[in-house]
Amino acid sequence: MTKDQARKIIKEQKLSMGERLVILGHHYQSDEIIEFADYVGDSLELSRKVSQLDKAEKIIFCGVYFMAETASVLAPDKEVYIPDPKAGCPLADMAGIRDVEHAWDVIGRISSSVVPITYVNSSVEVKAFCGMNGGVVCTSGNAARVFMWAMERASKVLFMPDRNLGRNTAISLGLKDNEIIEWDPSAKDGGVDEAGIKRARAILWRGWCPVHWPKLRPEDVNSIRQREPGIKVIVHPEADPLTVSKSDAAGSTAQILDYVKSLGKGSSVAVGTEFNMVNRLSMDFRPNVRVLPLNKVLCEDMARITPDKLAQCLVDPDDSQRVRVDATIADNAVKALDRMLKI
């Protein structure tokens, strides 16, 4: 299928289905997909949107699999599709449910006062685990609020799967270095000892996003500040804590967009996140604000969603594109998601 054919099909389908069809697009999608998205947002905004789509019958999620899975859990009465089910998230894959259950058992033998928090970039099974154990989901846009909620209820949090978002959030809430430990799922019993678990207020799963870490380095912030005196720097909190500490701000993709919007005419800003978004910001805000990439980083999984796959998914979806979640797992995952949406 050529690009023009794909565009024609997508336009026709949108016209004929009207409000019964909703196409959601994450900020990291390419311009050729964003052009057709009814809503564009970060993970939190898109999750909230899904729960409000009364007239929609069919939701096409242009993003990665855990996002479509979350949409399906939040809108069980709708048909949710993803144009390429192979669009996964390596970060989400770093926390397997069996490893999470093992960590919970080991930690539970030492302390009974732990709230599990999972970043939305995780499997639905890990979300369900949190739902069943008094825990909650968070996104990069609300992690600090969710941590505070959890820390009012227990002496520790177990945060999965992103070590950087976990550490950046814990630091922003004033936790000391010795109150933060990491659970390494590849080491025996996480590679932590009893004293470490007893002392910790935040136990962070050792997982990371290969797009944001270690590629967005503290040296990148130093060098752009040298080349462009006066430039502002904002990064996604999946970046290294040292990179975050050298930046002017850190936030989810929606918060990055708001930050760029808030800058005055003539400002320059370096943005440390996926290049599709940074490039779009630089087009949308010129000539008033000059937007530069802190480093050009691309998410290959997001890039799997292309107009031809979207067109095919609209007219003749195959079963693998339909996102279905087991009812019991969904019921438990929704508990953790609902807690987040209320915080």
Which residue lies nearer to ligand SF4 by CB, 212 or 335? 212
Residue 43 binds: one of ligand SF4, ligand 13P, none (C-beta under 5 to 8 A by kind): ligand 13P
DSSP string, 227-244: HSTT-EEEE-TTS-HHHH
CB 140 to ligand SF4: min, Å: 9
Crossing angle for the helix pair 307-315 and 3-17, nearest 10 degrees?
40
Which residue lies nearer to ligand 13P by CB, 168 or 252? 252
Rg (CA), the chain: 20
Which residue lies nearer to ligand SF4 by CB, 46 or 114? 46
Per the DSSP assignment, residues forming a β-bridge with 157 are 115, 202
CB 139 to ligand 13P: min, Å: 5
**Helix/strand/coil for 58:** strand
Which residue lies nearer to ligand SF4 by CB, 7 or 213? 213
**Helix/strand/coil for 220:** helix
Residue 252 binds: one of ligand SF4, ligand 13P, none (C-beta under 5 to 8 A by kind): ligand 13P
Pick from 247, 274, 305, 314: which binds ligand SF4 (CB under 6 A)?
Answer: 274
Binding piece for ligand 13P, criterion CB under 6 A, among 77-85, 101-109, 134-142, 152-160: 134-142
Pick from 85, 90, 191, 317: which binds ligand SF4 (CB under 6 A)?
Answer: 90
Is 301 an interacting residue with respect to ligand 13P (CB under 6 A)?
A: no
Pick from 22, 64, 175, 340: which binds ligand SF4 (CB under 6 A)?
Answer: 64
Is 164 an interacting residue with respect to ligand 13P (CB under 6 A)?
A: no
Pick from 29, 30, 118, 139: which binds ligand 13P (CB under 6 A)?
Answer: 139
Is 121 an interacting residue with respect to ligand 13P (CB under 6 A)?
A: yes
x/- mask, ligand SF4, residues 202-241, rule CB under 6 A, reads -------x-x------------------------------
Indicate the pairing of strand 156-160 with strand 114-119. parallel
Residue 204 amino acid letter:
L
Which segments within 90-248 are labelled E, that is strand?
Answer: 114-119, 136-138, 156-160, 180-183, 202-205, 232-235
Sequence-distant (≥ 6) Cβ neighbours of residue 102 within 8 angstroms: none
CB 234 to ligand SF4: min, Å: 16
For residue 71, give the nearest of 56, 86, 84 by alpha carbon.
56
Three-state SS string over 269-334 comes to EEEECEHHHHHHHHHHHCCCCEEEECCCECCCCHHHCCHHHHHHHHHCCCHHHECCCCHHHHHHHH
Is 37 an interacting residue with respect to ligand SF4 (CB under 6 A)?
A: no
Pick from 9, 89, 128, 231: which binds ligand SF4 (CB under 6 A)?
Answer: 89
**What residues numbered 18-47 form the site for ligand 13P, per CB under 6 A?**
27, 42-43
What b/e readout covers 4-30, taking b as 16+ CB neighbours within 10 angstroms?
A: eebbebbeebeeeeeeebbbbbbbbbb
Which residue lies nearer to ligand SF4 by CB, 91 or 311? 91
Is 299 an interacting residue with respect to ligand SF4 (CB under 6 A)?
A: yes
Per the DSSP assignment, residues forming a β-bridge with 183 are 205
